[in-house]
């Protein structure tokens, strides 16, 4: 009963330790991070979250913490898949309060460029109302890391690679011009 209603009523901290263990063992890893991030500290729960999501899980690179590994890799994946002017920046901003206490290192090996707009479509947009960007507004070329870096108080290492991985048949040289 507690497990099924955990999202609406996360009473883990009010349970006896032996009952906490039973609940934690049964909690699904698909629960919203807004519920589990700052409430569940059990490493076995975060180990399940990691191993269900990623094939290779070496926690030695994450201070031997499954929770730290989960939040660092989750944030890295969101940043890697962020498409400027398309992806909602709140997707990253809403994650910061949940992961800020656990992220020590970020290794982002891909930053996607904005989606290429069809030149004919772009010309139509400009001719309709001047410019949708507004006066003096510059299109974003990559995710702005300024707000993110200042909001992660324990961040010690930041590794960035500006490029596109696995572009396959969509390869174009301009994807690699930054």
**Residue owning tokens 């955990």:** 6
DSSP 8-class letter at 176: G
- Using an 8 Å Cβ cutoff, are 67 and 46 in contact? yes
pTM of the model: 0.80
**What was the pLDDT predicted at 144?**
81
Question: Which of 78-87 are b and which e, b meaning 16 or more Cβ less than 10 Å from the residue's Cβ?
Answer: bbbebebeeb
pLDDT value for 162:
76
Q: Per-residue confidence of the chain (178 residues) as pLDDT tens digits? A: 899 999 999 999 999 999 999 999 999 999 999 999 999 999 999 999 999 999 999 999 999 999 999 999 999 999 998 888 888 988 899 999 999 999 999 999 988 777 765 455 444 444 444 444 444 444 556 778 888 999 999 999 999 987 777 665 565 656 555 5
pLDDT, residue 127, reads 46
Could you tell me if 150 and 96 are in contact, meaning their C-beta atoms sit under 8 angstroms apart?
Answer: no
**165 within 8 A of 110, measured Cβ to Cβ:** yes
């Amino acid at each position: 009963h507690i497990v099924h209603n955990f999202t609406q009523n996360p009473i883990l901290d009010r349970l006896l330790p032996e009952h906490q263990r039973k609940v934690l063992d049964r909690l699904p890893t698909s629960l919203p991070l807004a519920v589990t991030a700052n409430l569940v500290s059990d490493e076995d729960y975060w180990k399940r979250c990691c191993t269900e999501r990623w094939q290779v899980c070496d926690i030695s690179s994450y201070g031997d913490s499954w929770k730290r590994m989960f939040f660092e890799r989750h944030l890295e994946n969101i940043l890697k898949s962020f498409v400027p002017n398309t992806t909602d920046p709140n997707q990253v901003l809403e994650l910061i309060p949940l992961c800020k206490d656990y992220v020590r290192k970020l290794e982002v090996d891909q930053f996607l460029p904005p989606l290429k707009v069809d030149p004919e479509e772009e010309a139509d947009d400009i001719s309709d109302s001047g410019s949708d960007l507004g006066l003096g507004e510059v299109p974003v070329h990559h995710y702005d890391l300024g707000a993110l870096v200042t909001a992660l108080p324990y961040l010690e290492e930041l590794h960035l690679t500006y490029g596109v991985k696995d572009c396959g048949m969509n390869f174009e040289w301009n994807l690699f011009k930054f």
